Amino acid sequence: MSKPDGRALAAASVTVVLWASSFIAIRSSADYFGPGALALGRLVVASVVLGVLLLVRREGLPPREARLGIVTSGVLWFGAYMVALNWGERHVDAGTASLVVNVGPILMALLGGWLLKEGFPPKLMAGMAVSFAGAVVVGLSMSGGGTSSLLGVLLCLLAALAYAVGVVLQKPTLLHATPTQVTTFGALAGAVACLPFAGELVSQVSRAPLPATLQMVYLGVFPTALAFTTWAYAVSRTTVGKMGATTYAVPVIVVFLSWLLLGEVPGRLTLLGGLLCLSGVAVSRMRGKARARVPEGPGEDRAAGRGDAEVSAAGADTPRGTRT
């Protein structure tokens, strides 16, 4: 087994910290921007920054083989995911949102087993059961806060589903396009999908205090433009299975930052449910005894020269992608 690429690990670490910070920024700006308006503003900023980067690097348009994957994954992962998460965080705290969204790796693994023919190993099914139990516990713990809190949990689950589908669809794309191309045009696709919220965005920007607008800009530049690019770079240099464990740290960082900056901490039952969700992901990723490595698919050998074939902005066997 080859050693992890140090640059890939560094890039993934940057992504994890920035994605964690995005949950805090979304939560703190929810009083001033609607879910769709915040998503559109974030994606417009990200598209501008990434567009400049693409021009500087002279990478041009992505190959035709990659365009459908970029558009579909961009609409789901950049568009639908961000709107659902923004909406969900209007009803639940940032820590709870990050815990619920982390069922995404299980959904990705299931979709990968079905769409990408990666199979359904027993540990995956066991992990799915544990994570599902955790999601139920989180939902029950939040139901005491009324239908609003429960709606927030359901929206975060919807965000996890959109993120999982988008990432699995993106998996083959990095075999044909560069990480910068995939991230730039994915953000553009998401921004176009969010254009119906343009009027709301203009109206709310004119009324929002400067710190709230700066938070939106921060979301576009760092957790989106920079973090999605560093993640795509990381997974293009190694397998998603090796890199996916790094995203397990996101909820831990979010809960800490939420307590430090917002004075919000999930309740004990919510934390228990979140830990069950993460435990399910860990179980699904457990390795058996060492054995001869068998390629997971024909694409793996083709991509060996540039890293591994399991490339995606967040692949199908782990949190292929998070984050936010």
Residue 302 has pLDDT above 70, yes or no: no
Top-confidence residue, 22 or 8: 22
Per-residue pLDDT reduced to its tens digit, 236-287: 675 554 555 556 667 777 877 888 888 887 777 777 877 877 777 677 666 6
Residue 170 has pLDDT above 50, yes or no: yes
pLDDT of residue 70: 93
CB 43 within 8 A of CB 224: yes
pLDDT class for 94, splitting at 50, 70, 90?
A: confident
pLDDT of residue 125: 72
- Report which of 182, 192, 223, 193 is spatially closest to residue 65, judged by C-alpha positions: 182
pLDDT of residue 23: 93
pLDDT of residue 275: 80
pLDDT class for 301, splitting at 50, 70, 90?
A: very low
- In our burial notation (b when 16+ CB lie closer than 10 A, e otherwise), range 73-109 reads bbbbbbbbbbbbbbbbbbbbbbbbbbbbbbbbbbbbb
Mean pLDDT of 104-120: 68
As given in the structure block, the two tokens for residue 169 are 């669809």
Q: Pick the range with the lowest mean pLDDT from 55-64, 171-180, 272-281.
A: 272-281
pLDDT of residue 312: 38
Residue 308 has pLDDT above 90, yes or no: no
pLDDT class for 171, splitting at 50, 70, 90?
A: confident
C-alpha to C-alpha distance for 318 and 106, rounded to whole angstroms: 7
Mention every residue, 6+ apart, whose C-beta is less than 8 A from residue 34.
86, 197, 200, 204
Residue 310 has pLDDT above 80, yes or no: no
pLDDT of residue 115: 66
Collapsed DSSP state (helix, strand, coil) of residue 7: helix
User: In this structure, what is the dihedral angle of CA atoms 214, 215, 217, 222, given to the nearest 10 degrees?
Assistant: 130
Mention every residue, 6+ apart, whose C-beta is less than 8 A from residue 266.
93, 95, 96, 99, 255, 274
Mean pLDDT of 291-303: 42
Top-confidence residue, 209 or 168: 209
C-alpha to C-alpha distance for 67 and 186, rounded to whole angstroms: 9
Q: Pick the range with the lowest mean pLDDT from 112-121, 221-230, 241-250.
A: 241-250
Give the angle 150-155-157 at the CA atoms, nearest 5°.
Answer: 95
Mean pLDDT of 6-15: 80
